[in-house]
A and B are shown apart, each in its own frame.
Chain A
Amino acid sequence: MVWGGWDNFWAMGGYAPFVWGSYGVTVAALALEIWLVRARWRRALAEAARIRKRGRESGMRPAE
């Protein structure tokens, strides 16, 4: 390891707020994006399932 200890690593030569601020916000942004996309997909799937169910109940299912 080029740092000579984890304390030095986290300190980033005095630039810790800038370096970790960059990477931290990036990780947070990507994590949020993944979470939002997953939620959107689940919502869309549930909505499609509801439409399918409603169609079946009311006999609106199109002819094969």
Chain B
Amino acid sequence: MQTKVLVVGGGVWKYAAPNLFYPLAGKLIPWFAIAATALCAIGLYIGFFVAPTDAQQGESYRIIFIHVAAAWMSMFLYLVMAFWAGVGLALNTRLSSMMATAIAPTGAIMTFVALWSGALWGRPTWGTYWVWDARLTSELILLFLYLGFIALQAAIDDPRRADKAGAVLALVGVVNVPIIYFSVKWWNTLHQGASVSLTKAPTMASTMLTGMLVMALGLWMYSIAITLARVRAIILERERRSDWIKELPERA
């Protein structure tokens, strides 16, 4: 028989039970995947075929459309990861902790993409791939926080203990996110400020900004889709001895 809902109360909260969340996530994934594909296609089209050449940087600035979107996601995903890890720690809800575990690799990839594209953008515009300034260094620390979270959880056999240890690390690391965000204001860095488009002609600024925002939305939808897919795998791994999984069809 199917396991009864563990969380008392109806409505949306019942999906905090892994056995109910698993099929729901399965239904949601295709929609987020479609949205991600469509938004990224539109964003890239705007970025490469609508947005004009930059007066100062030429075509090299077109890295912005992936760089800024990935950098935003790297910080945002960390906050979401720390939030779910914190909820799991405070309320002892299994699915919250699984969400945090599922977000970490995607966050690490977004951070890597932001650093990689930043290096390739830095070379033609600054003359260097890397510089130890506040923005770049704090973003690198973000990558190490993600990798540390993943490694710490992997090193602990008991999943619930791994959840707790990871949550403490994730919550302590939150302090790094505002440091990344405000680093360009707080310190004198080589990295430019919050927007490169405000000093340009309005039409130019608006298409560049639109491309950037659409790409960020696309990566956001991608992150949701891939996280839901990963959390489904994690649910199966952790709950494989429970009754509801035994009731699951062979290929659900």
Contacts and interface: CB of A to CB of B under 8 A. Distances in A.
Contacts of A30: 109, 222
Contacts of B121: 18, 22
Closest 4 CB pairs of A and B: A13-B59, A44-B236, A22-B117, A41-B233
A40 B231 CA distance: 10
Contacts of B70: 26
A38 to B, nearest CB: 7
Interface string A6-45: 0001001111011101110110011001100110110111
Contacts of A33: 105-106, 109, 226
A19 B62 CA distance: 7
A21 B232 CA distance: 32
Given A23-B66, A26-B113, A15 B233 contact: no
Given A29-B113, A51-B240, A15 B66 contact: no
Contact of A47 (B52, B62, B120, B240): B240
A1 to B, nearest CB: 6
Contacts of B251: 45
Contact of B63 (A22, A38, A44, A45): A22
B230 interface: yes
Interface string B207-242: 000000000000000100010011011101100110
Interface residues of B, number: 43
A22 B67 contact: yes
Most A CB contacts (10 A, CB to CB) among B60, B109, B241 go to B60
27 contacts: A1-B49, A2-B52, A2-B53, A12-B59, A12-B62, A13-B53, A13-B59, A14-B58, A14-B59, A19-B63, A25-B116, A26-B66, A30-B109, A30-B222, A33-B105, A33-B226, A37-B230, A40-B233, A44-B237, A44-B240, A45-B236, A45-B251, A47-B240, A48-B240, A48-B246, A49-B250, A64-B1
Contacts, number: 99
Interface of A: 1-3, 9, 12-15, 17-19, 21-23, 25-26, 29-30, 33-34, 37-38, 40-41, 43-45, 47-49, 51-52, 55, 61-62, 64
B248 to A, nearest CB: 7
Nearest to B69: A26
B181 interface: no
Nearest to A64: B1
Contacts of B123: 18
A62 B243 contact: yes
Contacts of A45: 236, 251-252
A38 B67 contact: no
Nearest to B47: A23
Contacts of B1: 64
A57 B116 CA distance: 52
Contact of B229 (A17, A22, A37, A48): A37
